[in-house]
Structure 1
Amino acid sequence: MSSPTVSIEGPTSTTSEGFLAAAKSGGCAPSSYGSSPTSPGDVDPAIWDKIKDHPCFSEEAHHYFARMHVAVAPACNVQCNYCNRKYDCANESRPGVVSEKLTPDQALRKVIAVANEVPQLSVLGIAGPGDACYDWEKTKATFDRVIREIPDIKLCVSTNGLVLPDHVAELAEMNVDHVTITINMVDPEVGAKIYPWIFYENRRYFGIEAARILHARQMLGLEMLSARGILTKINSVMIPGVNDQHLFEVNKMVKERGAFLHNVMPLISDPAHGTHYGLIGQRGPTAMEMMALQDRLEGGAKLMRHCRQCRADAVGLLGEDRGQEFTLDGIPDGVTYEAGKRQAYRQVVAHERRDHEAARSEAIGMVKATDSEKSLLVAVATKGGGRVNEHFGHAKEFQVYEVSPRGISLVGHRKVERYCLGGGGEDATLEGVIAALEGIHIVLCAKIGNRPKEQLSRAGLRVTDAYGHDYIETAVSALYAAELGIRPLAATA
């Protein structure tokens, strides 16, 4: 079976040359950390206006704003060895997983209900559980309905890219200015190990032939989006021994074609999920392996370090999922949108963000002014707002910050089971928490009991609640000075 001719030469636009140049440089001012933008000063003002309320495209925004995915697109045209959309656990966060599939009308009902109760909501995304561009009629119908009712919500799609080029013009017409493409390879030899088959132009292709077509279409779609000024985030799954080293080439190639962010995610591989990789025992990377790879990618395309690998029906801030609060059977027919809560929330957040940015700048200035060359990894228990505001025993994850003479930067997160279970099993859970915090020097939380604090200390983990409810950067900078005995010099501008 011969493969179709696939060009990777996309249309260009002279009006988009400035955007494309900015995108190729990461869209940001020079930064030693090279992560997603955290303040208006990190990025071109026009781009900041697009991302400032998008929790996935801006690290700073994810402290304050929520996303919602609606599962209206079940059909898929690419088989991935790490994917099985038939498995669902309500407590699991994994792409492709949903508890209920929706029609466009049902999706509208659900979006209105969430917007009325979750004032942080700023983005509506369609991320499956199949492919949003392949199941295009349902995707477009959903967006058409929602934007008529809630015109200020951002629209976002995630796609494998195979048929993306066919819909770029329509995406632009609908003002969809954020698109995520999953790109795991740029070499078909590597791709053949990840994708058993694709379905393209009414035919199924296998192996290297399939990967070659997929690669060409992904590059074409990325170039077309960049030419139109649509921001793109590239998701790549890190698969040890398969594409982990190859992701350097992926990073380079997507940057050259205008990608705004590169999000490298760990393979989730569990036999219970029924995926090919899970069943053959392909392991996922450790947290330290992930961090090492991301560190080595610095200097290429800007990296997203705050991804939570959301479900295709996720609701809420990154790191939380309130989807089970908004099942269809609990949403009345005829629900109407009430804009008051979202508008009031944005006014409050605008003041909080200004205050946070001033505190962040001061903290980073203090750290950069020290004469130390040491680096620390700090795990922070937080439930949003950019503050140390979560009890250790309630934490389901810890955000990991690196503090060094370069400044303070979010470099990842570690998922854990809650220590406070309301019953037995705390000791076993704490062992899991300790394992998840491998490589961490100090833990910050709003409160911690004496018993877990002592057990963590015996395991070599320092933990303190002395900075509870401070801004994270303020707490980390104070900790850097106090824990290392460094006397801060005058902060630099």
Structure 2
Amino acid sequence: MSKNLVNLNVNPCKMCMPMGSVSAFYGIRKCMTILHGSQGCSTYIRRHMATHYNEPVDIASSSLTEEGTVFGGEHNLIKGLENMIELYNPEVIGVATTCLAETIGEDIPRILKRFYDSHPETNVKIIPVSSAGYSGTQYEGFFKALRAIVENVEMRPGKNNKINIITGMISPADTRYLKKLLEEMRVDYILLPDLSDNLDGQHAENYNRLPEGGTSIEEIEMMAGAKMTVELTAFVKDENSPAQYLYEAYGVPYVRCNLPVGLRDTDDFIAVLEGAGGKKTEEMKKQRGRYLDAMIDSHKYNGEGRAVIFGEPDFVLSVTRLCTENGIMPVVTATGAKSGAFVPMIEKDIKKVAGFQFVDSYKILDNTDFDNIEKNALELEANVMIGSSDGRRIEEKFNIPLVRCAFPVHDHVGGQRVRMLGYEGSLILLDRITNTLLGKKEHSFRNQLFKKYFKGNEEVQAPKLKADGLVPVKAGKLAATKAEIARKTETHPCFNGCGSQYARMHLPIAPKCNIQCNYCVRKFDCPNESRPGVTTEVLSPEEAARKYQMVKEKIPNLKVVGIAGPGDSLAEFEKTRRTLELIREADPEVTFCLSTNGLLLPLYADELVQLGVSHVTVTMNAVNATIGAKIYKHVDYMGNRYYGEVGAAILMANQMAGLKRLTALGVVCKVNIVMLKGINEFHIPIVVAKAKELGCEITNIMQMIPVKGSAFENMPLTSNKEITEMRKKCELSMKQMYHCRQCRADAIGTLDNDQSINFRGCTGGSCSTEEKKEKEKMEEKPILFAVSSKSGVLVDQHFGHATDFYIYEYKDNNIRFKERRSVSKYCDGSESCDGMGGGRKEGKIDAILETVKDCKGVLAMRIGEAPKQRLKENSIETYTTYDRIEDAVKQFAKKIQAQHLVNYGT
């Protein structure tokens, strides 16, 4: 690999420009194409076209060799033209250049003039088109060829009543539909190009070497006198636009439309034709109605679609609009072409459906490759891809089904008969996408349900995080022995009745809650309050594990780790699971305790036992739905919000089912009951009796703590005397807890001596006062990074090639793009520049240092030793990587923070 490598393209999402030019010339009657370049170019294009269209494809080549490359390929091209005319006798010849011809600077118009001068008897129309593969994609090559055709054909500017219809690279089947539509609307048209027959022919006894169908030269000559042009593309540049040329040269007015795909764009296209004198038919109205009916039929399935759409810009735009109008969320839209208009045009529709579906993240990529598409498809959990068969590798590797409806289709037959234009074509494509989504679900949902709910009948070995004393039991569950449970209960301060002997640590890792109690407000950042549901910080699982190890060193009698919010520990179960796994890995002896409202307890009870949770507390304030409806404002369950008695009934049913399951598995369960005056004070003995019936060990009747802003803010409090009386009354049937302190979600220490204030802001290592101040100082000010990036998405540029630095700031684990700062390119590309810091660059590095002086680090794909040393001398670290900018900034920001603390300690 070259040390000067700047950009990397893995599996391109595009094909070369000559591919598009050849395809366009195939829509001209009795036309042959010759590629001026090496033999391999024509072979590559023939192979692609023949396997997609399943038709014989003839493309000539001037077959440049080393001699032609050095001394010019004029002789080869003239000889090739002579042979073509002798063998094929075409009426039109398209001469398309390749990378090689353009690189050596071949003057094709001059060569063709010499050919005509030396062959005066030739009446073949020869049309040159500049189509270097490295200067664009097949999309640009297609329109450059069409532009060259209208520029080189001698026009007849006399006025006529025809309408020019110019299309992009659509399928022969869609071309036939377009012709039929125009004829039904009685539009007198000229179609450029016409691929309907040449690339999707009939079976015939004799093979015709020349394409018999297509747009004739005579028809093209009349385009200058047409009354208007309709150009079906959204992204073509003016210099490549046939419609723009006809307007500038002959005054033919034009309008650009999106491809008529989906309801809106088909309506718009037909409206344009009506405005030009076309007549809408009854059959068209019926087709529109059928498409509307299909949209209604499939909408309930399409809402689950998360699509990756890739291909040419016009194709991606049209399919995106079809998807969004049907409720399918395009999470990745991508093209290999470069277009400044691509992102804003695509985003208008995607942003709307993303808002409806509460989708926070999606990607719109231009000038991209399949490596980038794959990465984003996986990150955004796509479940369908729409494009060409070039996406089949992602399909095979990650089981994301692919709808093949764009060029090229190599691994299926029928690419030439793909339909997507008009109401009927949109219906066909919509059915294919919906059925693909249904097929994906049909083939995967049983496996998903099996993994999620079925526990099997075999013995399951304890996981690597197993605690001492855990033994495998039937039905896939893990339980502790009675002796083990008893030992853990003796050292659990909430269950053993002793508030001063053993310490516990609450980890605030789950801020979300799925119910709304009328005595609670979901504001947990309350450093000066001491009550359940408040904390000064929310930790990630990794931070919680680090903090546990640090606290364990400071408090030797720490025996219990509890998770009690500040929301509900099961509402964000992934965080709870990960936290328990990490701590179990570090300390197999620790006792795990968990507090929950119980709504999701039936779903996770078995897994909690497998994770080693031995003690669980459930807050159950009522077992009567009428009473519960007065306590709970709403319950969020399985994607729906329930109110009143319905919500209360769901909550209480799940609480009781979960407790029954846990006690059957040997877990020690405690029921907390908040005593609410005038609501449940006389109902509490019934709740205690039900808790006993379910196998619970102890109940804890608590006083309500009034919270400002809650519905019960002004409710009269129950006195300590009333609480004690209720506990004594219930103690006759079940053990009661008298030593509850109603702890915070970040409590640390014994019940009688909370030490959490000494550990606030510490998530690992030592935590002295000086270091805390230093850490707070660092967190107050964001860390800035300068990123060398060509794409603006990846760290994909050499430091020496940067003309702009993307400035990102990192603060509180969040990354934000701040601005772009321009600089003079450090490496000027001269011979004295070796890409590694050599050459004459006096003054350049000083200007760059001034530009990034407030940054802590510079991120680049590569950097030479000389600039690296100068940056280091100015206290700016350098990091080399090839990664997404956000991921790289986060990674290196954490390194800087960690290094800062280490340096401070030494």
Q: Give the TM-score range, shorter chain.
A: 0.5 to 0.7
**Distance across 2 between alignment mates of 1:148 and 1:46:** 19
Q: Does 1:73 align with 2:506?
A: no
Pairwise mapping of residues 382-421 of structure 1 onto structure 2 (< 5 A)?
none
Tell me what 2:655 maps to. Answer: 218
Alignment-derived partner of residue 345 in structure 1: none
Which of 744, 748, 756 does residue 311 from structure 1 map onto? 744
- The question of 1:177 aligning with 2:621 is answered no
Q: CA deviation at 1:332?
A: 3.3
**Does structure 2 conserve the Cα–Cα contact (< 8 Å) formed by 1:155 and 1:176?**
yes
Tell me if structure 2 keeps the 8 A contact 1:110–1:328. Answer: no
2:642 counterpart residue number: 205
SS where residue 523 of structure 2 aligns?
A: coil
Once the two structures are aligned, what percentage of the paired residues are identical? Answer: 42
Structure 1 match to 2:728? 295
- C-alpha spacing 1:307/1:199, structure 2 compared with 1 (3 Å): same
Deviation at 1:48, TM superposition (A): 2.8
Kept in 2, the 8 Å contact 1:71–1:100? The answer is yes
Which residue of 465, 488, 493 corresponds with 1:50?
488
Counterpart of 1:194, as a letter, is: I
For 1:71 and 1:221, locate their aligned partners in 2 and report how far apart those are by CA, in whole Å.
23
Does the residue aligned with 1:158 lie in a helix, a strand or coil? strand
SS in 2 for 1:162: coil
List per-residue Cα deviations over 1:195-244 (Å, max 9, x = no partner): 01000111000000000111110010000001100110101101111111
CA distance in 1: counterparts of 2:533 and 2:521, whole angstroms = 7
> How far apart are 1:307 and its partner, in Å?
0.7
Q: Does 1:149 align with 2:592?
A: no
Count of aligned pairs? 289
Q: Rate the CA distance shift 1:316–1:208 in 2: closer, same or farther, 3 A.
A: same
In 2, distance between residues paired with 1:163 and 1:157?
Answer: 13
Amino acid at match of 2:518: N
Determine if contact 2:543/2:763 at 8 Å carries over to the other structure.
no
Query: Gapped runs of 5+ residues in structure 2?
Result: 1-454, 458-481, 769-906
Deviation at 1:292, TM superposition (A): 1.1
Q: Paired residue for 1:100, among 519, 537, 543?
A: 537
Q: Which gives a bigger RCO, structure 1 or 2 (Cα 8 Å, sep 6+)? A: 1
CA contact 2:500–2:752 (8 Å) conserved in 1 = no
| Cross-structure match for 2:558 | 121
Amino acid corresponding to residue 217 of structure 1 in structure 2: N
Secondary structure of 2:754 counterpart: coil
- 2:711 alignment counterpart: 276
* 1:332-359 residue CA offsets vs partner (Å, 9 max, x unmatched): 3899xxxxxxxxxxxxxxxxxxxxxxxx
State the match for 2:674 in structure 1: 237
Separation in 1, partners of 2:571, 2:707: 27
Does the Cα contact within 8 Å between 1:179 and 1:230 map onto a contact in 2? yes
How far has the Cα of 1:297 moved from its partner?
Answer: 1.1
Look up the SS of the partner of 1:292 in the other structure. helix
Conserved? CA contact 1:109–1:333, under 8 Å: no
For residues 328 and 148 of structure 1, what CA distance do their matches in structure 2 show? Answer: 23
User: How far is the alpha carbon of 1:300 from its aligned partner?
Assistant: 1.6
TM-score by length of 2: 0.31
Please tell me whether the aligned partners of residues 485 and 614 of structure 2 are also in contact (alpha carbons under 8 angstroms). Answer: no
Rounded to whole Å, the distance in 2 between the matches of 1:286 and 1:334 is 40
Task: Please tell me whether Structure 1 or Structure 2 has the larger radius of gyration of its CA atoms.
Answer: 2
| Paired position in structure 2 for 1:323 | 756
Structure 1 residue matching 2:533: 3-state secondary structure: coil
Alpha-carbon distance in 1 for matches of 2:514, 2:640:
10
CA deviations 1:142-164 (Å, max 9, x no partner) are 01001111111111110000001
Partner of 2:303: none
The answer on whether the counterparts of 2:520 and 2:707 sit within 8 Å (CA) in structure 1 is no
Report the counterpart of residue 462 of structure 2 in structure 1.
none
The alignment status of 1:59 with 2:494, answered yes or no, reads: no
Q: Distance in 2 between matches of 1:50 and 1:114?
A: 19
CA pair 334-243 structure 1, distance change in 2 beyond 3 A: closer
Q: Pick from 648, 664, 677: which aligns with 1:227? A: 664
- 3-state SS in 1 of match to 2:594: strand
Deviation of 1:330 after TM superposition, in Å, equals 7.5
Q: For residues 89 and 321 of structure 1, do their structure 2 counterparts lie closer, same or farther at Cα, with a shift above 3 Å needed?
A: farther
Cα deviation per residue 1:249-296 (whole Å; 9 max; x = unaligned)? 00001100101110111000143xx22211xx1122111111111111
Letter aligned with residue 657 of structure 2: L
Q: Say if 2:517 is the partner of 1:84.
A: no
TM-score in terms of structure 1 length: 0.56
1:126-149 CA deviation, whole Å, 9 max, x = no partner?
A: 000111112100000001001111
SS at match of 2:630: coil
Counterpart of 2:547?
Answer: 110
**How much does 1:47 deviate?**
4.8
For the residues of structure 1 that align with 2:683 and 2:758, how far apart are their CA atoms?
40
AA matched with 1:181: V
Give me the whole-angstrom Cα distance separating, in 2, the residues matched to 1:189 and 1:76. Answer: 22
Matches within 5 A, 1:359-370: none
Amino acid across the alignment from 1:235: N
- Please give the secondary structure, in 2, of the residue aligned with 1:192: helix
d(CA) in 2 for partners of 1:87, 1:216: 27
Counterpart secondary structure, 1:180: strand
Distance apart, 1:328 and its partner CA? 2.7
Q: Report the structure, 1 or 2, having the larger helix content.
A: 2
The structural deviation recorded for 1:323 is 1.2
* CA-to-aligned-CA distance 1:10-41 (integer Å, 9 cap, x gap): x9x9xxxxxxxxxxxxxxxxxxxxxxxxxxxx
**Contact 2:547/2:762 (CA < 8 Å) preserved in 1?**
no
Matched residues in 2 for 1:118 and 1:154: separation? 15
- Inter-partner Cα distance in structure 2 for 1:128 and 1:87: 9
Change beyond 3 A, Cα 1:305–1:329: closer
Q: Which amino acid aligns with 2:517?
A: C
Does structure 1 conserve the Cα–Cα contact (< 8 Å) formed by 2:524 and 2:566? Answer: no
Secondary structure in structure 1 of the residue aligned to 2:616: strand
Task: Name 1:246's counterpart in structure 2.
Answer: 683
Report whether the alignment pairs 1:265 with 2:702.
yes
Q: Is the 8 A contact 1:269 1:283 kept in 2?
A: no
| Distance in 2 between residues matched to 1:283 and 1:254, nearest whole Å | 26
Matches of 2:696 and 2:661 in 1, distance apart? Answer: 11
Cα 1:243–1:92 shift into 2, 3 Å? same
Query: Structure 1: how far apart are the matches of 2:671 and 2:512?
Result: 21
Q: Is the 8 A contact 1:66 1:122 kept in 2?
A: yes
**Equivalent residue of 1:235, what SS?**
strand
Residue 136 of structure 1, aligned match among 573, 597, 608:
573
Cα distance in 2, alignment partners of residues 104 and 219 from structure 1: 29
Amino acid at match of 1:316: G
Specify the code of the residue in structure 1 equivalent to 2:653.
A
1:319–1:275 distance in 2 versus 1, CA, 3 Å: farther
Q: Distance in 2 between matches of 1:122 and 1:82?
A: 31
